[in-house]
Amino acid sequence: MTAIVEPSGAVAPAERAADPGRAAAAATEAILADTLDGAHRGVVVDSPPGAGKSTLVVRAARELAAAGHPLMVIAQTNAQVDDLVDRLATADPQLPVGRLHSSEPRPYDPMLDRHPSVRTSAKPADLAGQDIVVSTAAKWAWVSAEEPWRHAIVDEAYQMRSDALLAVAGLFERALFVGDPGQLDPFSQVGVEQWTGQPHDPSTSAVSTLLAHNPALPQHRLPVSWRLPASAAELVSDAFYPYTPFRSGTGPGDRRLSFAAPADGSPVDAVLDEAADAGWGLLELPAARTPRTDPEAVGAVARLVHRMLEREGGTRSERDGGADGPGSALSADRIAVGTAHRDQAAAVRAALAELGGVNGAAAEVTVDTANRLQGREFDVTVVLHPLSGRPDATRFHLETGRLCVLASRHRHACVVVCRAGVAELLDEHPATEPVQLGPVSPAPDGWEAHQAVLARLARHRVRLE
Amino acid sequence: MSLLSALARMEAAACGRARPVATVRHRHLATNPLVLVPLTTAGENGAPLGVMLGTDRSAPEVFTVPQPRDRDLRFAFLGRLAEAMLPHLESCQDEVELVERKETDPETGKRVTVEAELCADAPQVLVPTGPGVDFVRLLGRSMRFRRTAEEDPGAEHPAPPRVPLLGRWLTHYGERARVPGSSLLLSMTGLLSRHWATGQSQLEDQHLGALLAWLAPPDGLGGAEAALRAELGRDARGQLLVPPAGPATDPAFDNELLAPAIARYDKGVPGAAQEVHELVASQLRPTWEAMWQGVDLLRALPEAAHVPDRWRRDRQSYTHHRDRLRAAEPPQPRRDDAVTAARKLAMREQRQAELDAQEALDDPLVMAVRRLAGEAFLAEVLEVEMAYSDGKRPSPRPLVTVHTQDVPLLSDGDKLHRQLPTGAQQRAELVEMAGPGEYVLRLVGGMGRGKEPAPGTVPEKGDLMCWTLFEHAPRGGPGLPEPEETPWTHGGPPGEPSAERPDPVTAEDVL
């Protein structure tokens, strides 16, 4: 079903060095050298979760601008664009940055208005002369340029569909493509089998098409995840990035999660303590076939969040004085709940409001689907397992990217809530998709990735009877 | 599967009869559809065994191939098929209406209005199953690159006249069938399972006989029992009572009846060709009857309000194909180039969104599915407060407080849509979640251009209306480059368009 994509040997030798910081810096230098002076029209950078992709994009953009190359930046969502513009303007308050936006009401985040050097407009002509112009692929597609940009940066290129790249590729001469191959693949609501395996399948990712047509382009990868703790990097790397392994920027014990109030003896508290200690926790409910919004599982998710806040969690990490430093409180905005479906997210939100009141702290917790959590970072995440309580394992629920996103948002710990019996469910549902000739996927098989994650979680299991 | 269709399936299983999942017919059904029942040879995908076709239920035409592996016989069969199908496929070419269309003037680059022909109707083809649609596509692919003696006098095995032409028509119909909501080529199992739910799985619904057994069980039988009989029931000779609707045949039929008859034909036994013909016809006829039974069931449903709009697009597609044939363009290429593939995908996604919206607007049962999924809600107006936008020319922006018992998945700033009694669309945005089930919406469109809203466009207290979170007429995406401007990321321009070479004759072609 999937072919192995070998990295093209562009991995810096320094990566094997002991110091993750030096390995990451060496990789970044090699990427910038190829981008600024390379002979190729494109450079591809694979970035695992939290490997400093945004930092790289900001740095590459600033260096290109400083070298006198005005450039366009293409991101996929408005939130990503706003975040990038904010980072660019924060990194260099003098840098003239243009934010091209739609003509809808509230087209961009008002926080951008506090940067004097950022100009916003719905008309590309208003932004002519800005060193850097940032917008979504959807908006760029409506722009027609008389003279193409010399340079472009395409952010989240693995989440961009090939046809979206086709619509904007005429706007630039050369580009740096940055993205995370392990996250959710782009998809289409209609059948696309007729193009499967062809180099320009419009529903595949922009990077797949780019590399199919330009196999000689240099491919780099960022070797260190600064977000994932040592406990998570190994599992996420093995399960979701078997062909492009990465490591954690911090070692075991460099980060700590603890709770001020002692456990009350309940399974919920026990699994929180396990997760604080080991980085992973599995709260297992008795096997059952349930509706998607399984009331017991949703209730357990809400109680986990509630207890985390009630027990006054605190985190210590390299950001605030190291493992023995003063640390920071685990506030509601540092916690996220991830689900597979929107109705599950809505059910969790309702349960949280019921437990802690509509204006309680728990209502501040981010609750969203994997699709919307992509690219975001939290201290602790609570995940409702995509296969929990299901009678079948569909392609949607098996998709590697979905589980990968859910399992790689946290800096400290991740607690998974799941009905028992998922391993058996997986065994009963081997992949039945017809084999197609030709498609190349950088992601491993979803079935295998699910088994790897389950096997690891089983070591941190607490049963909720 | 939606909650309602799961419920309908459970109800069907409980009561032994199919349950409706639509109150109207969501696909166009022609007055005289061409029903086409094809069968193919086991193990030889591209070798048709026979076909029963026609627009008159009492007078089908039957063509068969006594030795499907014989290339000459196969092409003689395809030649007859072309003579039978083309008059129908070409029957709507000349009756046209004139419509106005926006087009980009190639010289000035401006959008200008031109008058274009649009065929008043288009021929519809119905096949029994999804694999039948694939088979039509396969036949099209196998025929359109052939060359007739007239086109290539030196060809060793020229195709009968009009066979390549039929290939192009079938290719067009097969490709059009991939467009959501299109009705040029439809499968009966697809049509029936769109409108009714049975008490069996979706996989089992692909068996036309079993599906009809749930829809109209024979006297005294329950749906499950009748479906089981349709799937497995065999006569004293071990032959299925209800032969498969094709294009695959039943192995027991192949082994015990068909293979010996073909062997006799190979040996030159007199009358063997007729024997094969009758055997194949015996497998085709039950499916032929089932097809018309399905047509009757569908005719009993009233047509949905948006079906003529979608059928108009089918007519446009038919007209375009006619124009390409008249302009003597080469056959459709084997593979789409990057730009064509992206354009097709964009168009189909737009059609899918449009179909989903239109089906919900046309049918309360479909809307109920969306309401249960939190994508729409039925609401009563509690209060209307007039307000205006800021700016030089203030426009009406009334605030409407509604109450619903549905549970829409809404967040602040979400856009909402509803259909006005005139059929026009109105947009609103969510301003505030005032309480349980209570929402304050700001109407932002559909009220005309004046300072005061046009009559009937602002609801009144007590009005009941259905708001949707999805757009009713989703806009198309941005334009894509022309194929000759394909960027380097997608392999660059595909080069000069040249007529593709005909398929080479291989050893397997000539036995």
Mean pLDDT over B217-246 rounds to 90
Residues B161 and B69 in one domain: yes
What pLDDT score does B28 carry?
Answer: 96
* pLDDT above 60: residue A6: no
* pLDDT tens digits along A398-444: 888 899 999 999 999 999 999 999 988 888 877 677 777 777 666 67
Q: What percent of chain B has pLDDT over 90?
A: 69
Same domain, B111 and B254: yes
A70-84, A358-372, B342-356: least confident range: A358-372
Lowest mean pLDDT among A9-23, A50-64, A383-397, B413-427: A9-23
The residue that leads in pLDDT, B216 or A146, is: B216
pLDDT of the residue at B498 = 60
pLDDT of residue A18: 62
B173 and B27 co-located in one domain: yes
Is B495 part of a structural domain of the chain? no
Inspect the interface and report whether the beta carbons of B487 and A214 lie closer than 8 Å.
no
Is A211 within 8 Å of chain B by CB?
no
Examine the pLDDT at A81 and tell me if it is beyond 50.
Answer: yes
pLDDT category at A11 given cuts 50, 70, 90 is very low
Q: Do B157 and B229 belong to one domain?
A: yes
**B484 within some domain:** no
Helix axes B364-372, B3-15, angle to 10 degrees: 120
Taking residues A275-303, what's their average pLDDT? Answer: 93
Residue B396 and residue B254 in one domain: no
> DSSP letters along B313-361, please?
HHHHHHHHHHHHHHTTPPPPPSS--HHHHHHHHHHHHHHHHHHHHHHHH
B490 part of a folded domain: no
pLDDT at B496: 63
**Last residue of a domain, which of B452, B468, B484?**
B468
Number of domains chain B contains: 2
**Which of A105, A202, A209 lies at the smallest CB-CB distance from B489?**
A209
Query: Edge-to-edge, what's the strand order for the sheet holding A256-259?
Result: A256-259, A313-316, A328-329
Residue A388: band (very low, low, confident or very high) from pLDDT cuts 50, 70, 90:
very high
Contact of A168 with A72, CB cutoff 8 Å: no
Q: Please give the pLDDT value at position A14.
A: 40
At B471 the pLDDT is 92
Range of the domain at B36: 3-332
Half-sphere exposure of A408 (CA within 13 A, CB side): 33
Q: B345–A188: do the CB atoms touch at under 8 Å?
A: yes
B7 and B87 housed in the same domain: yes
User: Which of A161-175, A182-196, A201-215, B224-238 is predicted least confidently?
Assistant: A182-196
- With cut-offs at 50, 70 and 90, classify the pLDDT of residue A19: confident
Q: Which of B332, B349, B377 is the last residue of a domain?
A: B332
Beta-bridge partners for A118: A97
Q: Is the distance from CB of A133 to CB of A69 less than 8 angstroms?
A: no
Same domain, B164 and B209: yes
Q: Is residue B377 part of a domain?
A: yes
Looking at the structure, tell me whether residues B59 and B152 fall in a common domain: yes
Chain A contacts of B352, Cβ < 8 Å? 189-190
- In whole angstroms, what is the distance from residue B23 CA to residue B363 CA? 6
Considering the domain architecture, whether residues B237 and B371 belong to the same structural domain is answered as no
The answer to whether residues B250 and B195 belong to one domain is yes
- Give this complex's ipTM: 0.87
| Domain shared by B34 and B173, yes or no | yes
Q: Given pLDDT bands bounded at 50, 70 and 90, which one contains residue B485?
A: confident
Q: Do the beta carbons of residue A166 and residue B339 sit within 8 Å?
A: yes
Residue B475 lies in a domain: no
C-alpha distance from B470 to closest chain A C-alpha (Å): 15
Grade residue A15 by pLDDT with cuts at 50, 70 and 90: very low
Chain mean pLDDT for chain A: 87
**pLDDT higher than 70, residue A1:** no
Residue among B180, B348, B413 minimizing CB distance to A106: B413
B337 is a domain residue? no
Query: Does any domain span residue B482?
Result: no
Q: Tell me the whole-structure pTM to 2 decimals.
A: 0.90
Residue A148 pLDDT: 87
Q: Tell me the nearest-neighbour CA distance from A185 into chain B, angstroms.
A: 17
Set of chain A residues whose Cβ sits within 8 Å of the Cβ of B480: 163, 166-167
Where residue B411 sits, what CATH number does that domain have?
A: 2.40.10.170
**Of B475, B342, B179, nearest in space to A203 by CA:** B342
In a domain, B127, yes or no: yes
pLDDT of B81-126, one tens digit each?
999 999 999 999 999 898 888 777 777 777 888 888 999 999 999 9
pLDDT digits (tens, 9 = 90+) for B182-191: 999 999 999 9
Q: Which residue of B has its CA nearest to A167?
A: B480
Using the 3D structure, point to which of B430, B447, B468 is the last residue of a domain.
B468
B89 and B215 share a domain? yes
